[in-house]
Structure 1
């Protein structure tokens, strides 16, 4: 029994170990190929971050993690919601516009804006869900198109109705009563950890409970593994697809909310693009597991923050960090698949040996 347990643990650790080794080797080879020093790169990347970078890492981890959970909801259903970028873009603009208009004040303004962000994100994702269930349109194609539409539409609305400041344009600034003061772990100049970063914890816990402790979560996982089997057991796959897209988009709507109410105060040049695509990568890196995605989000946030060290401390391009992130995701996906196939083949061999032994004994 102990041998079986040790083998199971070894199999679980083998794939991430292979991924780490491959990522380090490939990144080191790329750095050496461009004529830079791999030693300087790894020394800079794993140096102790400055206090302001630590604060930034925590804040970025929270937003990336929320985005990863939004992607994971779709993945669990067998859907590739590549439209997270457009969903949180539309939601952020809508929430910032409402909050800046100050129809209500104080905490109520924040609460209503958060609800608007969730509803708009869900509605934008719901378009792809309806197209998939009603017309059979692939969610990959529809969400890519919706990303482009969202970017164009928000750009038009900001330029048409936004507030101009020199060469920039933005939505109305939030009042002081609608800004949420964060936690200052270091000196004030090092920045604050946003209060709404707590959404990452709530979203992660909710995702785990939904998947593992509810009937809906079971139906979601069953539909993602086999729509035919789920239909035979009484689950409506089309309904599950639509609900999953709505949930994924609703969670995506919260991605930029910690930054909006923590420091940005408006939608404009301070808006951070790319969090949707980072979330997809982290969901793949973390294997759609709440804990795995947490480590993945922390890793990506850490690498992004440390890229500043490369800019000022070495002659290595910060773009190498993006290569490292991409290689890490690819290595994890490939290594897990290789280990899975090897494990299945090993189990088949063991079963075959036991059957052969049983036949020999009976003869």
Structure 2
């Protein structure tokens, strides 16, 4: 049985905790410089959580962010920076909505078809970056950024009424048509609203992510290749195959990010569908340290900042405070993790030195005896 490592646990919590403290302090400084109260905005945001509709909104948004952040984390584990999650998610949900609106099947089959299409589209779009990296050596950062832009333009063209889109009568919006009720996923009805049914699926996927990563050969190969590609190759792992597989899985999970809202609320894709989810997911994955539990709490935190910020405007505070905090969290995460890493190395060196010194003393005592 593995020995419990108290230092590792403390250092694991220290990075996110330090990042949050720094982000809150810097945000307070920004408020002070702006001539605003550095405390009241936090109180107002905390008061918003007392309302059940805000709680439901936070939980639903957390499910969406959780799936997108898992997609980012899969890439991070492989030392890949999949910035294209936003494009993969939007293109996947758009085409899944088109397919869902064009057929009528028995409930479970209809939902399964929509989900399968979303995963396939997300995987194929991410696979383009994977092919470019494994065959031509193109950085996934560059290719996924470009694929995001291409996805935006492609969606704008596909959703035109002349192509796959539908323009509701008396509206300027463009949609993909409404999915029949057999393709909806029922949610949990509460006083403040409905928790999307797919939100629970999203959190369950966190368990799958943990099991595959930590209890399977594939997960070991993934982590080993991400830690050292040359070492993984020396032990018989096909590094290029692992890069391609990781990109495909990351894209497939990104394709699921739009399912909670599509199957639980809108039942169609339109130009008003959320954008920027993939970029927020990068913050969440970093803050959660690619851990399913850490990502969950990070997703809840970011959702809390977004959903409670809407009440700040009524009190005369700019809602952009939430965006400032998210940006500062990203900067603080990078800095704090590096500080914690350096401290961890020094602590490890100190422990090794103490163990060597203790062993030397023991040897001297044995010789003297």
Tell me the TM-score normalized by structure 1: 0.93
User: Structure 2, unaligned stretches of length 5 or more?
Assistant: none
284, 287, 295: which one aligns with 1:285: 287
- Local SS of the residue matching 2:167: strand
Partner residue, 1:148 = 149
Q: Is residue 31 from structure 1 mapped to residue 31 from structure 2 by the alignment?
A: yes
- Local SS of the residue matching 2:174: strand
Shift of 1:354: 5.1
Partner residue, 2:179 = 174
- The equivalences for 1:232-311 within 5 A come to 232-311=234-313
Instruction: Indicate conservation of the 8 Å contact 2:16/2:288, yes or no.
Output: no
Instruction: Indicate conservation of the 8 Å contact 2:48/2:308, yes or no.
Output: no
Partner deviation per Cα, 1:302-326 (whole Å, 9 max, x = no partner):
11110111122x2211111011112
Distance between the aligned counterparts of 1:143 and 1:8, measured in 2? 34
Q: Which of 138-147 and 18-27 deviates more?
A: 18-27
Instruction: Indicate conservation of the 8 Å contact 2:74/2:250, yes or no.
Output: yes
Partner residue, 2:202 = 200
Instruction: Indicate conservation of the 8 Å contact 1:285/1:333, yes or no.
Output: no
Instruction: Indicate conservation of the 8 Å contact 1:36/1:315, yes or no.
Output: no
Shift of 1:54: 1.0
Instruction: Indicate conservation of the 8 Å contact 2:48/2:311, yes or no.
Output: no
Partner residue, 2:190 = 185
Q: Is residue 74 from structure 1 mapped to residue 79 from structure 2 by the alignment?
A: no
How many residue pairs get matched? Answer: 356
Shift of 1:330: 2.4
Q: Which of 326-335 and 4-13 deviates more?
A: 4-13
Partner deviation per Cα, 1:119-148 (whole Å, 9 max, x = no partner):
010000000000000000000000000000
- Local SS of the residue matching 1:192: strand
Partner deviation per Cα, 1:66-92 (whole Å, 9 max, x = no partner):
001000000000000000011011110
The two structures, once aligned, show a CA RMSD in angstroms of: 1.9
Partner deviation per Cα, 1:26-83 (whole Å, 9 max, x = no partner):
0100111122211221111211422211111111000100001000000000000000
Shift of 1:347: 2.5
Q: Which of 106-115 and 289-298 deviates more?
A: 106-115
Distance between the aligned counterparts of 1:246 and 1:225, measured in 2? 19
Tell me the TM-score normalized by structure 2: 0.91
Shift of 1:174: 1.3
Partner deviation per Cα, 1:139-158 (whole Å, 9 max, x = no partner):
00000000000000010010
Instruction: Indicate conservation of the 8 Å contact 2:104/2:180, yes or no.
Output: no
Q: Which of 155-164 and 102-111 deviates more?
A: 102-111
